[in-house]
Amino acid sequence: MFTIFAVPKSFQNNTQIIQENAISSWKSLHPEIEVVLYGDEEGIREVTKKYDCLHREGVEKSEYGTPQLNSIFQDIKKIARHDVLCYCNADIILLNDIVPVIQSFTPMKEFLLVGRRINIDLNERIETNDATWEKRIRTIIQINGKVGRADQIDCFIFPRNLMINMPPFAVGRGGWDNWLIANMRKRKVPVIDVTGSFPIIHQNHGYHHVPNQKGNAWEGPETDRNRELMEGLKNLYTIDDADWIYTKEGLKKKGITFGRIYRDIWRNIK
């Protein structure tokens, strides 16, 4: 089985509904699923007890008080029960078809699974004790779900022994996810697009939690710093830069497309 780890925001108002929806969906996947929540935000202790998660406090933070991902990625490798790890943003709902997909990759020594998310509006609590809850979520996806962009990357799955020497990126800000894909590609670690193999369901929300916010999303000084740590646009890799794709027939090498050639040339120029 596998370990899911996340760094939730404060459990307040609609954010509490969204994050509890996500966490309860993870815990319902399989009895052996381990969920680890990092941070000391308001409400996290109560939620970890409610859903029987492991709670890790005392994470390293930026000058704005935002948890930094490098220490979290180092810690999870030390304490996780399972050999496959899944980093998920705390607003992502997962359904049970993720389990056999991940199990099919366990024999591989190195890999990074990524996939496009599906954006939905869901402003109410889901009851995972109800046997029909997954069916209801799939219906919502069919009605108002929208496939996200290739640079909206909210879920990473990889083996515990995969070396990741990550700079001190701030969680929930841009740049670090692009860097991770770029780092794997340059090291010849298979980056595998699992879009369509299982839904990565993103509950739409605002960005009021971003300090000194610029614009209407996650832009601000911490995103600027993340992009500096990313070392520029040469490392602006997205899901479209995965070199493999997972299909019903199995793993297939992605073909060379004009778009991919253009992106490689553009990055080298930048």
Report pLDDT for 210.
45
Residue pair 136/124 in contact by the 8 Å Cβ criterion: no
Report pLDDT for 209.
45
Q: Which domains does the chain have, with CATH numbers?
A: 2-269 (3.90.550.10)
User: pTM score, two decimals?
Assistant: 0.90
Whether 208 has a pLDDT exceeding 90, the answer reads no
* Cβ-defined contacts of 185-189 (< 8 Å, 24+): 185/237, 185/241, 185/243, 189/110, 189/111, 189/112, 189/162
Report pLDDT for 217.
47
Quickly state the pLDDT bin for 244 (edges 50, 70, 90): very high
Would strands 191-193 and 155-159 be described as parallel, antiparallel, or unpaired? unpaired
Q: What average pLDDT score do residues 66-73 get?
A: 95
- Please spell the DSSP secondary structure of 106-137, one letter per residue: TT-SS-EEE--EEEE---S---TTSTTHHHHH
Whether 213 has a pLDDT exceeding 50, the answer reads no
Whether 256 has a pLDDT exceeding 80, the answer reads no
Report pLDDT for 212.
53
Q: Which residue has the tokens 């496009």?
A: 116
Write the pLDDT tens digit of every residue in 174-202.
899 999 999 999 999 999 999 999 999 99
Q: Helices (DSSP H) in the chain: which residue ranges?
A: 13-27, 44-50, 69-79, 98-105, 133-144, 176-186, 221-229, 258-269
Quickly state the pLDDT bin for 229 (edges 50, 70, 90): very high
Q: Which residue has the tokens 């490392």?
A: 235
Whether 17 has a pLDDT exceeding 80, the answer reads yes
Residue pair 131/59 in contact by the 8 Å Cβ criterion: no
Whether 136 has a pLDDT exceeding 80, the answer reads yes
Q: What average pLDDT score do residues 140-167 get?
A: 96
Whether 36 has a pLDDT exceeding 90, the answer reads yes
Burial of 232 (0-12, 13-18, 19+ CB in 10 A): exposed
Nearest to 209 by CA among 180, 171, 179: 171
Q: What average pLDDT score do residues 148-153 get?
A: 94
What is the distance between the alpha carbons of residues 43 and 64, in angstroms, rounded to a whole number? 20
Encoded tokens for 227: 């992009």
Write the pLDDT tens digit of every residue in 5-14.
999 999 999 9
Rg (CA), the chain: 18
Q: What average pLDDT score do residues 152-177 get?
A: 95
Write the CA distances from 219 to 91, 112, 136, integer angstroms.
19, 26, 34
The dihedrals phi and psi of 95, each to the nearest 5 degrees, come to -110, 170
Nearest to 246 by CA among 114, 106, 85, 155: 114
